[in-house]
A and B are shown apart, each in its own frame.
Chain A
Amino acid sequence: MVSLANPTRFLSLVDRMVPWLAAVTLILLGIGLYLAFFVAPPDYQQGETVKIMFIHVPAAWLGMFGYVLIAVAALGTLIWRHPLADVAAKTAGPIGATFTFVALVTGSLWGKPMWGTYWVWDARLTSVLVLFLLYLGLLALWQAIEEPGRAGRAAAILALVGAVNVPIIHYSVVWWNTLHQPASVFRVGGPSIDPSLLAPLLVMALAFTLLFILLHLISMRAEILRRRVRALQQTQVERAALVEV
């Protein structure tokens, strides 16, 4: 595990993992979509709109997962100052933001036929919107500061401050009266969803999670290479300046 902290060994592992991970992800996505559209029955209350759950719920989970990953990596940046921690945090930002965006859009499209409105300022929806805004803030911060080390430390502080929002999202349906339904998978007493709907949901969740990991690994590889290119270009400029002197 410690050897993976070496960027070169990490790159070698990513090169070996990506094709296999891509294949497994595509197969699982195919199985998940088949189960969602051809096997899962309509819900007794929500009818066919329950199919939106198979993408909305995994996207929401991964939106939060991405932020937790950034917060843990932020600790690695601030405490151990490890460059891979900063790379992991920075590259998880766009992926987590995209999944949070998907959760907001699909939730809105699910809300209209079920609640009669695309949006309501209740605790769950608002806290997820805050999560999306936190992602945008982090992305802006990484873009605004050119030197990766400084950008990483500044973003790490913001990420840790914003991490307080994650438990608020999770418990918002418990702490406040919301239009959003309470947790129905990860709850005391086990899932309350019928197995015929739970199975496609879990397959899609696993497929989305593998997709997140796959995109994150490729993005981390690109970021490590970007920093190497930047370092080589800087060295080249410095050498050129020395020759001129």
Chain B
Amino acid sequence: MPDLGQHAVFILAAYGATFVAVAALAFFIVEDDRKQRRLLADLERRGIRRRSAGPSAKPKASTGRQRGS
């Protein structure tokens, strides 16, 4: 680590705060994405899928309405 001089605490605090804020944002976004994928996969496993999603269609590619269970 290079010598950051007499104001090192301000520089490190700025980078630290940025890392924490961006890492928290990324964590929540990625977790939300995983949660929605899981919920959709659960519904489709139970036979609840949109009309255009045939039996062989991937969960993400479904676009129609419920097909009935």
Point out residues on A near B: beta carbons under 8 Å. Answer: 7-8, 11-12, 15, 37-38, 42, 47-49, 51-52, 55-56, 59, 94-95, 98, 101-102, 105-106, 109-110, 112-113, 211, 215, 218-219, 221-222, 225-226, 228-229, 231-233, 235-236, 239
Contacts and interface: CB of A to CB of B under 8 A. Distances in A.
Most buried by B among A59, A231, A232, A236: A232
Q: Closest 10 A-B residue pairs measured CB to CB?
A: A225-B36, A222-B33, A235-B66, A48-B5, A106-B14, A113-B7, A109-B14, A98-B25, A222-B32, A52-B14
A11 B65 CA distance: 18
29 contacts: A12-B61, A37-B2, A47-B5, A47-B6, A48-B3, A49-B5, A51-B4, A51-B11, A55-B15, A59-B18, A94-B25, A94-B29, A95-B29, A98-B25, A101-B21, A102-B22, A105-B17, A109-B10, A109-B11, A211-B22, A215-B26, A218-B29, A218-B30, A221-B33, A225-B37, A231-B50, A232-B43, A232-B49, A232-B66
Contact of B29 (A52, A101, A105, A219): A219
Interface of A is mostly: helix
Contacts of A235: 48, 65-66
B55 interface: no
A169 to B, nearest CB: 20
A239 to B, nearest CB: 7
Contacts, number: 115
A101 B61 CA distance: 36
Given A105-B18, A239-B66, 6 more contacts: A48-B4, A51-B11, A55-B18, A98-B25, A112-B10, A113-B10
B63 to A, nearest CB: 5
B13 to A, nearest CB: 5
Given A48-B8, A215-B26, A106 B18 contact: yes
Interface string B21-41: 110011011101101110110
Contacts of B4: 48, 51
Nearest to B46: A236
A239 B68 contact: yes
A239 B43 CA distance: 14
A59 B39 CA distance: 33
A102 B30 CA distance: 20
B66 A236 contact: yes
A218 B40 CA distance: 16
